[in-house]
Structure 1
Amino acid sequence: MPAEELTDALQSLHGRISTLLVRLDAPGKQARLTELENQAASPDLWSDQAAAQQVMRELSTLREELEPWLSVERRARDTLELVELAALEDDQTILGEAERELGQLTREVDELEFKLRLNGPYDRSDAIMTITVGLGGVDAQDWTQMLMRMYLRWGERHRYQTEILDLAEGEEAGYKSVTITLRGQYAYGYLKGERGNHRLVRLSPFDQAHRRQTSFARVEVMPDVGEAAPIDVRDEDVEFEAYRSGGPGGQNVNKVSTAVRLRHKPTGMVVTAQTERSQLQNRENAMRLLKSRLVEMELEKREGELAQLRGEHIDASFGTQIRSYVLHPYTMVKDLRTEYETSDVNGVLDGDLDAFVEAYLAWSVGREQVNAA
């Protein structure tokens, strides 16, 4: 790329970054970051443990948000200055390196700009996901397990920490339900579009005649709000029950009642946790799950109210089919909302979901803009 063209491209990119930094309110967030750093350096910070933890959480979040943007702005500015000097000396080696850096910076800015779409109140939160078997018998239980693996593999690709909170095994194969957590920045924002029914069409490995079988599983996604939950759950509103956990089979069944079931009396909501060895840990996990479900229920309520104001129809059954995975007679995964599709079924089932996530976020932003017009 000629030096003049490279300079123009870098100037354009730097201008784009500057505009996005204004949209991000980088000056205001930088001022808040400085304020928090001063608080963190105070010797009296840890006199109030709860307040100190809040300061450190906010400090960490702001650093994670700002540093990538400040880094690309700094690199774009430095590369532009380097190109201007290299152009004077006609240094083709430096110009070639600058062109490669331009390509890398453009990809990073595209990714950072995409993340600006994740501006919901809980989009930065960790995610809790529950997958529940639907129609389809043993095949549906196996499908539930396949979906769990798909999302765990997706989490690994993004270097998220994953954990199984609750697991109910099927009689012959697979799972009746499973609850997992994915911990990492924007986990909920990325996964919130996975809510709904997922449909699998394949030749059944459990049918002696090997006939084609359609199976369903429902996915629920909630922000893992933890102690920061804006909902107060009173002790008297929660009914507690301990029971023995474990799947079918003798020695794997616990001999003591470590599994926990909580029922929220005002809503009738029931949650369970049984994968930890102690009842206390399972109870803490169950309470986390209950708070997250209540937050998600409130989010769905607000979404429904806004949709009614916009004149949209919302399926109150939460049973809307969102995606179809076909393994026979052809191979295709298709999102029924965005119309995005791919024939790489094996890749998707191995966790390659980013294209579907990005298509959903672009679709949801476009829908909001149309409705706001």
Structure 2
Amino acid sequence: MLMCKHLCKLLAVVVCQLLNRNMTLIKQITVILIFFISLSQTFVLDCEFDPITWASVPTYYGCKADVIHTGSVSEIDNVIGEHWDDHNNTLVEFIYVYNQTLPRIPLNLKTFFPNIKGIEWHSSKLQKVTAEDLEPFPHLTHFASFYNPLGSLDGDLFKHNPNMLWIYIYNSSLKSIGEDFFSNLNELTFLNFEKNLCINAVAKTPSEIEKLKSQIRLKCSPLNTPKPETVDEFWNHFKTMKENVLELAQLNHELEMKVKELSSEVKTLIKNVKDQKKTIVKYEIRFTKLERKIRESNLINSIKVAVTEALTSLFDLLISFFKKLISFFVNIPENEL
């Protein structure tokens, strides 16, 4: 609506100027050119202002932006859209650009939205993002890119954004990520670099995040080797590669010899272990036999003791019986016998 008003006012001025009979033809042409130049430089964000909640992102009051432009999209001319009651641009904390053509983050985005905490470019042809693009937003915590031809990320991308919690770079054709990309990002809680050329992984826990950082450093390190510019440089580069290959072959041969030696030692060790195992088995058999004999011996001793005790008891009974008989027939007290 604001854009239409802007164009209508401009058009009215042009018509009034053209109706001025005192204006020369050259001046009329100049007015027309100014009008079309003004049109060619129009870049407006048409926002649908709503709370945005997505995945682990907190609920932010945000702008879901459509891009209206007839020329350069480096700097925004105006932002239009109907805010919620008691809301304005200063309360906008998230900008979401979906299915648009906006290859860079506008240079003056902070002018309209000074308190951005989250940025997402989805299928909007984002080609490049730099630390300077994000510098105006020191409280940035969330950044996402989906289906954009980014290709690479600078190592210092978030040097002005130490509070980053959540980075989601999905299917954005990443081939390289700068060496110091994570140097000041100590608060991260979520990383997703799935479906990229150099990395395809996601991390949701501190241990997974540290592991993914290591993978990115290993797999996405920028290529620093310059291409040879002359035949001599190319030949020297080739000879260096050949020497490296020969050195690797020598190392491989030495490694194979070491493996053979270790294999022989391992075989000997296995044989010794088997021999020891046989010896242990023999001793186990002997121990079992000895244990059986001990048990049998203990059983015999137990029987002997039981028989002895039984005979002793029987003998005591017989003696007592004979004492009673003698005492009965001889008339002698039993305790005197």
TM-score bracket relative to the smaller structure: under 0.3
Based on CA coordinates, which of the two structures has the bigger radius of gyration? 2
The answer to which structure, 1 or 2, has the higher relative contact order (CA under 8 A, 6+ apart) is 1
**TM-score (normalizing by structure 2):** 0.23
**TM-score (normalizing by structure 1):** 0.22
